[in-house]
Chain A
């Protein structure tokens, strides 16, 4: 069922931008170094390689040019999977900014998917949490003002105020030590791995999710409990999903040599369901070494999870839960259902490794998929799966989803040993997807 013909489609989804020798214009160099993240107690300072960061956030005018070219990202055309109903809502129309979105002010109301697509089209990427937090320590006089009470107090005052209706120009703020403008004080900004933040942000689990939700995540807690500004940024990121938009959330680009990701944008081929996972453009390889897109599974029901094969704790249990579902299905239901394990560890889970893992687990008839880190991140984002590498292990959500043939999430099981009856029922009865997943 993996028709090579369909692989052409994956190619259609890709439009590679040639890697440039240097950073695009308008970016400032940030020296490499290390910083102490808010979470991870007793962690050594985390290294941050040198990178470039946009001097200012992306503006409405710039984003307008992007959606002119890539019409899939216009307000009326974007699939709900990729942006909620607040997407570019302060614009006057698909291609009209209007009075509430001056061309030179930061573009807000943009989802993570849209921000990522914009930056890919410019040969850039979103900064990582580490990069953003590292650069965000600078005030006007030094690269690291994080220990200066006056600096943190100033941040706190800004965070405490409601979002103002009209934003100042993107370059209005004074440049900081690195020459960057408006990292703080105007809007929040998207980061690439926002959904890696392991804190629930709800202050109820000591800064970490329970071990029964996230394996290896139990060690997470904050070394500096008075960095309220950082707590707020982490809490905000935790409250987000990749399709969310906010009137006070914008973005800017990052760049570092050798990490330019080819722009992968939406296919113009219609996907019937607006929330279908098959809108995603990720490229995957299974344990047979065959390249495939998720939508190639589109004639089947699908039980899917994300994990990594060297996981000793949670992933074997997730697999066991999926096996329970498989064994409980009637022959007819089993016939229309596929089981898919997507690796979050592309470095170690090579197709060959996946093949031996499948054989050892007697699960050769399942699909074990591996892909580039961008594809993994995108799929995790649409599934709302959080994961973060901690030394040799990953902390990650224990989530099993049931997709209907249209690629919509019908049932979502959370946690280890989640009662699978709902999943079995949904497949047996071919339940419709809920209106609002």
Chain B
């Protein structure tokens, strides 16, 4: 829970002074000692002034219990009043990184004064192959630079707006307790910079974004990123950390339409994006740009969602998140498949990599992945562990109705009756293309180890009635064709007498077979016989 907004440093110190000046009886304990009896207003003010001055020269103690609620079971971050933080010490410049990199973990045992400087740049960059977009960025990338500070750090934030920018910009950091998250304080015209400071009271992973009107367009053009306020005790160590932000984009042209695509306000209002991507563009973390790791390593993803509109159903195909800090807060959930990341929100996930492979990051609202670009990759190299994941060990036919031969229901043929062999062969060719080709292949060559050939087939040419029987009743079990054994299943084909006569006439007249013509009456005769098992030998 956020506490009351904390005033800036100077007002904090002079608030008690104000109370005294106005004659308010104060129970404020920040000024030590009882109030002296004073004769005049002037003396009182001077007394207050002296104390304020004295305080100004002393080290500033940490705000006790400023970070809110006590430690409760199931929470990770220590925010208890009973465990006050160390006093503020030292000053440093924050290390900022471009996505997908993350600055090193903060191991300080005390808060510091930390300087952060972000520069806003408006840049034309690639959205996907052949398509560009004018991004508005915090630091030249989408998402903007990753900021990592420690809980209770005092952050002096400088927002610079590049002189070539067309727009004024500002920043609302969700990690800030105070009006607008810094938005009004950081409103910056092109070619200028603004400075404000805040105390990072609440640990967690927070989105920051531009909040200049029209806000949706500024966010929609890529103005968001993540700031991680490291809890005092830090996060558990992992081998690799990555920074990924989802965002939706609205362009005048459809997905993939080439050229520089301007922002489309109508689509944005209707929340119908053309692009839903990780790290600002299609393929930003896929292919050659994929995240990489090795088996045995534990990977943590700092995930954000800039929006502006869509929530993310974030999922990594083939992995289960060992730990999730939902919404970037301090509870931990375990063994999670898909975690929801709201627009303007975050999540921290980590998982150990057991086996190699390419793990696909998706928004599992899956059309976004398939059609709009929401795909990332984590390529994992290392040794296989067949016990954890074997890969494909067998490739079998699924027999939904047990081992009985299945019936392939077929659409009734609309072919007119064939009057001669040539017509029969022509009609049979279409039946073959519709029914047989998937297994026996276009040239009748079959599929080695699976489906026997029909081309120059000794089995076929030896016995036409057997061929008719096989088509009508199907076949299962071992069969030898041209000296090669097959053990597979041919389904029962629900074909008319004419179709069977046509397709077999076609097959016999093709692929180097002997040219037998099969007549409908012959099929009818075989159909009248009981479906007994056939002789499986070729001869």
Chain A contacts to B: CB under 8 angstroms: 84, 86, 149, 153, 156-157, 159-163, 165, 188, 199-205, 207, 226, 228, 231-232, 234-236, 238-241, 244-249, 324, 327-331, 419-422, 424-425, 428
Q: Say yes or no: A421 contacts B213, CB within 8 Å.
A: no
> Considering the complex, which residues of chain B in the window 164-217 have a beta carbon less than 8 Å from any beta carbon of chain A?
164-168, 170, 172, 179-181, 183-184, 187-192, 211-215, 217
Instruction: For chain B, give the interface size range.
Output: 35 or more
Say yes or no: A202-B211 contact (C-beta < 8 A), given A159-B166, A244-B189.
Answer: yes
B288 part of interface (Cβ distance < 8 Å): no
Q: List 23 A-B contacts (CB under 8 A).
A: A160-B262, A161-B124, A163-B163, A200-B187, A202-B170, A202-B187, A202-B213, A203-B211, A203-B215, A226-B269, A231-B213, A235-B212, A235-B214, A236-B168, A239-B188, A239-B189, A244-B192, A246-B163, A328-B41, A419-B17, A419-B18, A421-B21, A428-B49
Question: Considering only CB atoms, which chain B residue lies closest to A199 in the complex?
Answer: B213
Closest to A157 in B: B262
Q: Evaluate contact between B14 and A422: CB separation under 8 angstroms.
A: yes
Give bound CA distance, A207 to B215, whole Å.
11
Complex partner residue of A156 from B42, B168, B191, B262, CB under 8 angstroms? B262
Cα–Cα, bound, A364→B140 (Å): 58
Q: A163-B165, A204-B180 are in contact. Are A420 and B190 (CB under 8 A)?
A: no
B533 at the interface (CB under 8 A from A): no
* Distance between Cα atoms of A44 and B406 in the complex (Å): 78
Leading 8 A-B pairs by shortest Cβ distance: A239-B168, A421-B17, A204-B180, A421-B14, A419-B18, A239-B189, A202-B183, A162-B122
B479 within 8 A of A: no
Counting chain B CB atoms within 10 Å of each CB, the highest count among A84, A188, A200, A239 belongs to A239
Task: Report Cα–Cα, A161/B166, bound state, in Å.
Answer: 7
CA separation between A167 and B333, bound complex, in Å? 56
Nearest-neighbor residue (CB-CB) of A84 within chain B: B192
Q: How far is the CB of A281 from chain B (nearest CB, A)?
A: 25
Measured between alpha carbons, how far is A238 from B167 in the docked complex, in Å? 11
Q: Does B263 have its Cβ within 8 Å of any Cβ on chain A? A: yes
- Is A163 a contact partner of B166 (Cβ separation < 8 A)? yes
Contact of B265 among A163, A202, A228, A327 (CB under 8 A): A228
**For window 2-41 of chain B, which residues contact chain A by CB distance below 8 Å?**
10-11, 14-15, 17-18, 21-22, 41
When C-beta atoms are compared, the residue in chain B nearest to A164 turns out to be: B164
How many angstroms from the CA of A207 to the CA of B42 in the assembled complex?
A: 43
Do A240 and B221 have beta carbons less than 8 Å apart?
A: no
A88 CB to nearest chain B CB (Å): 13
Please tell me which one of the listed residues A163, A234, A246, A330 contacts residue B213 in the complex, with CB atoms under 8 A apart: A234
Q: A203 to B41, Cβ gap below 8 A?
A: no
Docked-complex contact B214 and A232, CB < 8 angstroms: yes
Q: Does B374 contact A (CB under 8 A)?
A: no
Chain A nearest CB from B198 CB (Å) reads 15
Tell me, rounded to whole Å, the shortest Cβ–Cβ distance linking A228 to chain B. Answer: 5
Least CB distance, B272 to chain A, in whole angstroms: 16
Q: How far is the CB of A28 from chain B (nearest CB, A)?
A: 26
Pair B217/A422 contact, Cβ less than 8 Å = no
Contact of A328 among B45, B134, B188, B269 (CB under 8 A): B45
Q: Are B166 and A248 in contact (CB under 8 A)?
A: yes
Q: Which residues of B contact A226 (CB under 8 A)?
A: 265, 269
- Is the pair A156, B263 in contact by a Cβ cutoff of 8 Å? yes
Q: Please name all residues of chain B whose beta carbon is closer than 8 Å to the beta carbon of A240 when the two chains form the complex.
A: 168, 189
Question: Which A residues lie within 8 Å of B332 (CB)?
Answer: none
What residues on A are CB-neighbors of B53 within 8 Å?
425
The answer on a CB contact under 8 Å between B45 and A424 is yes
Contacts of B10 in A (CB 8 A): 422
In the complex, B456 has a CB within 8 A of chain A: no
Cβ of B95 under 8 Å from chain A? no
- Nearest chain-B residue to A213 (Cβ)? B184
**Chain B contacts of A422 at CB under 8 A?**
10, 14
Candidates A232, A246, A428; contact of B189 at CB < 8 Å: A246
Residues of A within 8 A of B52 (CB): 421, 425
Residues of A close to B124: CB separation below 8 A: 161-162
